[in-house]
Amino acid sequence: MKGIIRLIKIIIFLALVVGVVFWVWFAYQINASAGDQDTNRLFIINEGEGTNEVSARLYDEGLIRNKFAFETYVWLWTKEDDLIAARHNLNEKMSIRQLTKVITSVPARQEVDVTIIEGWNIDQIANNLEKKNIFAAEDFLDYVSSVSDELSETYYFLNNKDTSDSLEGYLFPDTYRIYYDADIGDLVTKILNNFDNKITQEMLDEIARQGKTLDQVITLASIVEKEVATDDDRRIVAGIFNKRLRDYYPLQSDATVNYITGKGMTQPTYADTEIDNPYNTYQNIGLPPAPISNPSLSSIMAVIYPDNTPYYFFLTTPDGEVIYSVNYSEHLNNKQKYLNS
């Protein structure tokens, strides 16, 4: 009998020791930070996600040290049903206690900056939005890949578009501030309003005087944007392209070939320039069917107000320098000197 009592005491003692060790360990885990970075990162809890799913993603993103400790804490403090499906700002320096308080509280309405880089196409914009956890790329592309009746009726520059057209070219490069809970339509409205404000009546009058349409200007500006980087070069290149359009000479824009292949090469291969595609301006005279990027105001202005020079050809060196030529013979010599040496 004494042996049994002693065994029971040993078991109780060991249980107490294990309990104490566990609570010391647990207290450390829920009060320790996962890392040293105190920069806030966006963490989204989606509708219907439970503790285990949230725990796994928190761990994978380095925001908690231990999934078991997090799940135990949430269970002990009966927070399992309190996780808020929303966008939360978290950082590695938060402890499990601090982090849990954040994700079980309704966040203040937060804003985020959305930057569209000059010359980005809609795919690049979509991928950046997804990378920043703002919108899914697929959802954004679905929205901007066609022109709704509402957009066509609201914006004069979309009046002649149909649902088979995208908003490529009209997503004006700039930085836009939106709420995290805004929808894609809110962002696109801001962008199109900005485009509307940038295109002045004076610019439209000059476009009409030249016998052009705004669509033609934006399409050519989207090519100029991808070809050269400075304001001076843009005006010169726009002048060259305008002369080629006037003379029914192919634009022969490497940027349009890169748009087809996705390669981004300074000098596309001969095989690439032979691709049968309406965007291939080596094979087709005139403008491509639609813009290849979203151009800056500088490129739009360059197309409306180009420089009149004697040049008819140009190339860009691997270092980014633009070399101009008056005739094709000079252009071939420059290609040999700057690109084939």
pLDDT digits (tens, 9 = 90+) for 45-71: 888 899 999 999 999 999 998 989 899
Domain positions in the chain: 2-103, 111-198, 201-338
Structure confidence at residue 9 (pLDDT): 62
Band (pLDDT 50/70/90 cuts) for residue 2 is low
pLDDT at 110 over 80: no
Structure confidence at residue 19 (pLDDT): 58
d(CA 60, CA 64): 8
d(CA 308, CA 238): 9
Structure confidence at residue 235 (pLDDT): 98
Structure confidence at residue 190 (pLDDT): 97
Structure confidence at residue 224 (pLDDT): 98
pTM given for the model: 0.76
pLDDT digits (tens, 9 = 90+) for 235-266: 999 999 999 999 999 999 999 999 999 887 77
pLDDT digits (tens, 9 = 90+) for 156-210: 999 988 888 999 999 999 999 998 778 999 999 999 999 999 999 999 999 999 9
Three-state SS for 147-189 is CCHHHHHHCHHHCCCCCCCCCCCCCCCCEEEEECCCCHHHHHH
Report CA-CA distances (Å) from 105 to 2, 18, 337.
55, 34, 65
Average pLDDT over residues 199-228: 97
Q: Return the ∠ at Cα 91 (arms to 86 and 92), rounded to 5°.
A: 135
pLDDT at 103 over 80: yes
CB atoms within 10 A of CB 46: 10
Structure confidence at residue 341 (pLDDT): 61
Average pLDDT over residues 89-111: 86
Pick 10 or 298 by higher pLDDT.
298
Structure confidence at residue 153 (pLDDT): 93
Band (pLDDT 50/70/90 cuts) for residue 40 is confident
Q: Which residues contact 270 (CB under 8 A, 6 or more apart)?
A: none
Question: How high does pLDDT run on average in the chain?
Answer: 90
The CATH class, in words, for 2-103 is: alpha beta
Band (pLDDT 50/70/90 cuts) for residue 3 is low
